[in-house]
Structure 1
Amino acid sequence: MEVGNLDPYFTTIINNIISVETQPLTRLENRVDSISVQRGVYTDLQNGLEDLQDQVGLLRSDDDSYALNLAFKAEVSSGSEATVLSASVTNSASAGEYSIKNITLAQAHQVRSDQQVYADQALGLTGTVLMGGAATRSQATTATIANTVSSFDVAALEGDQTELGSSTYFVETRNDATAGWQFRLVDAEGKAVSIQKSETAGEYTSNWQAISAGGGTYDTGRGLSFEFGTDDGLYQAASRTTSDAAELDYTAQGVSIDIAATDSLVNIAAAINSAEYADGNKVRASVVDRQLILSAEDTGTNHAIIASDSSGNVLESLGVLTGVGAFKNLIQPANNASFEVNGVTVTRSSNTGLDDVITGVTLNLSDDAEGETATLKIDEDTSAGKTAIEGFIQKFNSTVNYLQLKTSITETTTNGEVSYSRGPLANNSIFSQLRSDLFRIAMSDSSNDGSYQSLREVGITMDDSLQMTISDETLLDGLLEDELNEITSLFDSFANSMDQLLNRFTGTDGVIDNSVDSLDNEKKEIDYDITDLTERLEYRQENLVLQYARIQAQLLNMQLEQQTWASISTYG
């Protein structure tokens, strides 16, 4: 019999019994809810402490993210409305002022064909043109290094490597105190070129690398090889700047483009643009007013367009080349950038990314810089350090406030009745102690080798609400600018103490991680108990229904019997 078929009197009895016997289940379910809340608090606290630890790292000089180190900023001014240039700086820069004037911008080589009748109609020309290099790669040796770099030769490309561009190259050598004899390949401007590692085929680097033991043939993997001497006892150090490096002129292999009679100017331009070129030799093509425009992708004299008719006379017929192979219609010559920096003339092939003109500074000449003058001022910049300190203070305050909220016991009075509510971590004194320890480290003296032993000496204190604050901003700013080394010692000591404390709580096997594991294990056991108790209550309810159904049936039978006897008695 179902509960719905029982008399309401018996249903009420059963519900009351089940309600009483369900109380242990309710207590278990409430504990699961409490665990969920507590686990969420642990997760939030873990994230907060890790964020605080990240901010602490910014204050430690041995941390990769250290932000209090001396930095610089660049300011550019000019006497006109022109932008002239922009600059970015690294920590290797030096404060100073630089006058940059007599600017000539680098230009990319650009030529054109004669105007044709149509841009998109068949030209009726056949042949093969060479673009971006010669028919075969070649090299012409200018100088070697006796007993060190004895010769050069061309070689095949390795894998999908891009060929070296047509230019002058130098092999520099040095005897490193730790690594021994090393070499590198640099271009005409002294920039190191990425080439195959001598010790690891298939890997490439532009850094200095070891000359293999016993010397011999070395392959760059990019179209050039050279021969090292076999006796490192006779090796000599050489550099491009001292004019004794090994030197060669390298000519890259061009791209052969076959032209059919059905091809138009548009087809030829597309073929040129889809070709793969040597590094720095790339040519871009477009069609303007029925003329084929060829443009070098890179600026500078080292990146002038190389083009020729390999078979047939397609380029000559179009008016790109003359009968002797010269360019017929020059739009723009290939020019290097030239400018003066404090009276020193500088020449580079590019207008941007000039990171070898002023140490620690990268210059980018603007499109409007031609003939302009600008002043570049490099100053010390403490803003990153100040921002790191402010970020730490904000995160410190939010952490201790969170701990206060979650570990406190709050008294509430309603209609004269006093009640108390406990924070999710109120029963765990280790987190109350964590808050106290954070304050202790922040407010105590910190033993170090510098002149400052506490945060309050550098303008950082606690206010009346126990919130960390910069109470003397002028003092702190001045110390960051003038006594960085001294306050570095203080912040190192302070940050180390703070980090050691936080390490106990964060990360794998920390206090929080172990607490979460404990909660998870407790929840698993409770979930098992809830399942077991729920099944037993369902079984108990079924038995109670059957029990009271039998009682109800017996009562009905008794009632029927009573009615029967009453009828007999009445009618005799």
Structure 2
Amino acid sequence: MATISSVGVGSNLDLSSLLTQLETAESQPLTALETKAKSYTSKLSAYGTVQSALESLQSAAQKLGDPALFQAVTGTPTVSGILAASSTDPSSAGTYNITVSQLAQAQSVIAAGQASTTTAIGNGTVTIDFGTISGGTLDGATGKYSGASFTADASREAKTITITDGNNTLAGIRDAINAAGAGVTASIVNDGSGTPNRLVLTSTTTGEASSMRISVDGDAALQNLLGNDPAGTQNLKQTIAAQNAKLDVNGIAITSASNTVKEAIQGTTLTLVQTGTTGLSMKANTTAVTSAINDFVKAYNSLQSTAKSLTTYDADTNTAAALVGDSTLRSIQTRLRQALTAPQAGDTTDMKVLSEIGVSFQKDGTLAVDSTKLSKALDTDLAGVSGLFASATGSTAGYGKQIDALVEDLTKSGGSLTVASEGVTSTIKDLDEQYDAMQARIDATMERYRTQFTQLDVLISSMNNTMTYLTQQFEAMNATNSSN
């Protein structure tokens, strides 16, 4: 049987164009499915946009739902550089006069100089404990005590470090002390002398109860290097004495082992920087609260703006946004507004609605903030504003906690937004499957058409060849008869 390399060539008919027209006609249902799938994809994307806006609102609500936001107190010193202050207790608000007469510091001692850091010194065990040096006198030149006593700190356990052939050099002793976690840091300083390498030991903790006592059991050279008892033999020179911080707050003397002083003022942490006298004004941090409330309003209004853009209809172009008439979005908006307009429980003197702090709904459904009214509410009744948004652990009161819980309910597994999104996703999957099935049917139909057209092409081509042959024969016969 004759073969056709391109349909229509054998018959000289435009069968290729006819096949294309047939395929276009057969594919019309696919176009409808594509349009439908595109619509649902746009809807799914729109739900994602709504969820993002809800998450922003939830984040703002969580911040307002945390009681700590309303408890922050900011300390402002009148003289900079002496101290910093922060508090989480509103009762600390007030003015204070503070004099820092002494900063806490850690003890530091140095050993006699060594010619080399890699020469073996001696073996043994080094035991370090901490306590308080009292009484006696300190020679400023030698850095050693006479007539002093040492009282060990019973709350801190002594640490023993073993020095052997593997670590009995100055560098090895340094590394062994640092690796022991004994509450001491060791370093080597070169003083430029004939025996320049000096081991420096510094307590990692400030305060007078962190003075070091070091006992050595072993070779004499190791004892002579490190043995140091403030109440006895001292082979180390003290360069910095352990001491407590001393300060006066409104005439009350206070000592602290650390320069971070807690509870000298109730709920307050003072960070001492240098000695001196300063006033300190402690005021509730209403700026942070104002910012959080404004952020919440912005997040809510952004959600409303998002909802509006997703539900518009353009009459001029007859174009509808992805969620026009969508019941899920409408339900979300209704539930949020109901939650924000429902009064909070409480006594008759408690704040119950947002309008009491200057936050109110507008005609377009958005929220607006009266900054003057909000500022007054924060200055006169910060606790009331706190109760309006936040509550103690375990309680569900407060708009912050309630909006947080509502958004969680909407977006969790089984929540209305999640269910709606999953429904659209399922529909898109079904449409994809329908599209694939229909495409397969169209491909099969077109293959059948193509086979039939090819057969037709071959048949007509054969008939044309036969006609040509017969015509030639008849012409030849006529030519022979004419010559006779």
TM-score range, shorter chain: 0.7 to 0.9
Map 1:385-400; keep pairs closer than 5 Å: 385-400=289-304
> Which of the numbers 292, 297, 300 marks the counterpart of 2:199?
292
Gap regions ≥5 residues in structure 2: 131-150, 192-196, 390-396, 478-484
Q: Which amino acid aligns with 1:49?
A: L
Q: Which amino acid aligns with 1:122?
A: T
User: In the alignment, which residue of structure 1 is the partner of 2:393?
Assistant: none
Cα pair distance change 1:331/1:386, threshold 3 Å: same
Cα pair distance change 1:274/1:98, threshold 3 Å: same
User: In the alignment, which residue of structure 2 is the partner of 1:343?
Assistant: 251
Give the Cα separation in 2 of the matches to 1:2 and 1:563. Answer: 18
Cα pair distance change 1:120/1:483, threshold 3 Å: closer
Aligned length: 437
Map 1:109-124; keep pairs closer than 5 Å: 109-116=107-114, 118-123=115-120
Cα pair distance change 1:37/1:71, threshold 3 Å: same
1:361 paired to 2:275: no
1:562 paired to 2:467: yes
| Post-superposition offset of 1:564 | 1.9
Retained in 1: the 8 A contact 2:125–2:218?
yes
User: In the alignment, which residue of structure 2 is the partner of 1:106?
Assistant: 104
User: In the alignment, which residue of structure 2 is the partner of 1:196?
Assistant: none
> Which of the numbers 430, 441, 447 marks the counterpart of 1:525?
430
Give the Cα separation in 1 of the matches to 2:338 and 2:167. Answer: 85
| Post-superposition offset of 1:478 | 0.5
Map 1:129-144; keep pairs closer than 5 Å: 129-133=125-129
1:422 paired to 2:330: no
Retained in 2: the 8 A contact 1:74–1:378?
yes
Query: Normalising by the residue count of structure 1, what TM-score does the alignment of the two structures yield?
Result: 0.69
Cα pair distance change 1:337/1:66, threshold 3 Å: closer
Map 1:453-492; keep pairs closer than 5 Å: 454-462=353-361, 467-470=366-369, 472-487=370-385
Give the Cα separation in 1 of the matches to 2:468 and 2:84. Answer: 111
Cα pair distance change 1:320/1:115, threshold 3 Å: farther
Gap regions ≥5 residues in structure 1: 135-165, 169-248, 413-418
| Post-superposition offset of 1:518 | 1.1
Give the Cα separation in 2 of the matches to 1:101 and 1:361. Answer: 16
Give the Cα separation in 1 of the matches to 2:409 and 2:203. Answer: 60
User: In the alignment, which residue of structure 2 is the partner of 1:273?
Assistant: 178
| Post-superposition offset of 1:540 | 1.1
| Post-superposition offset of 1:344 | 1.5
Retained in 2: the 8 A contact 1:70–1:382?
no
Q: Secondary structure at the match of 1:407?
A: coil
Q: Which amino acid aligns with 2:109?
A: V
Retained in 1: the 8 A contact 2:83–2:270?
yes
Give the Cα separation in 1 of the matches to 2:352 and 2:208. Answer: 60
Retained in 2: the 8 A contact 1:131–1:283?
no
Q: Secondary structure at the match of 2:181?
A: coil
Retained in 2: the 8 A contact 1:39–1:516?
yes
| Post-superposition offset of 1:42 | 0.9
> Which of the numbers 118, 122, 127 marks the counterpart of 1:126?
122
Kindly provide the CA deviation profile for residues 116-140 of structure 1, in whole angstroms up to 9, marking residues without a partner as x: 3x233415x3231413239xxxxxx
Retained in 1: the 8 A contact 2:123–2:219?
yes
Retained in 1: the 8 A contact 2:102–2:245?
yes
Cα pair distance change 1:3/1:409, threshold 3 Å: farther
> Which of the numbers 373, 376, 379 marks the counterpart of 2:283?
379
Map 1:145-294; keep pairs closer than 5 Å: 168=153, 249=154, 252-260=157-165, 263-277=168-182, 281-289=183-191, 290-294=197-201
Retained in 1: the 8 A contact 2:70–2:285?
no
Structure with the largest fraction of helix? 2
Q: Secondary structure at the match of 1:424?
A: coil
Cα pair distance change 1:479/1:102, threshold 3 Å: closer
Give the Cα separation in 2 of the matches to 1:287 and 1:271. Answer: 17
Kindly provide the CA deviation profile for residues 75-101 of structure 1, in whole angstroms up to 9, marking residues without a partner as x: 1222xxx61111221135421222221
Cα pair distance change 1:22/1:357, threshold 3 Å: same
Give the Cα separation in 2 of the matches to 1:57 and 1:33. Answer: 36
Retained in 2: the 8 A contact 1:107–1:300?
yes
Cα pair distance change 1:255/1:537, threshold 3 Å: same
Give the Cα separation in 2 of the matches to 1:520 and 1:533. Answer: 20
Work out the percentage of aligned pairs sharing the same amino acid.
22
> Which of the numbers 94, 97, 113 marks the counterpart of 2:95?
97
Give the Cα separation in 1 of the matches to 2:398 and 2:122. Answer: 78
Q: Which amino acid aligns with 2:301?
A: N
User: In the alignment, which residue of structure 2 is the partner of 1:172?
Assistant: none
Give the Cα separation in 2 of the matches to 1:504 and 1:33. Answer: 29
Q: Secondary structure at the match of 1:133?
A: strand
Cα pair distance change 1:347/1:504, threshold 3 Å: closer
Give the Cα separation in 2 of the matches to 1:309 and 1:490. Answer: 65
Cα pair distance change 1:311/1:457, threshold 3 Å: closer
> Which of the numbers 22, 38, 42 marks the counterpart of 1:37?
42
Retained in 1: the 8 A contact 2:118–2:169?
yes
**What's the C-alpha RMSD, in Å, of the aligned pairs?**
3.2
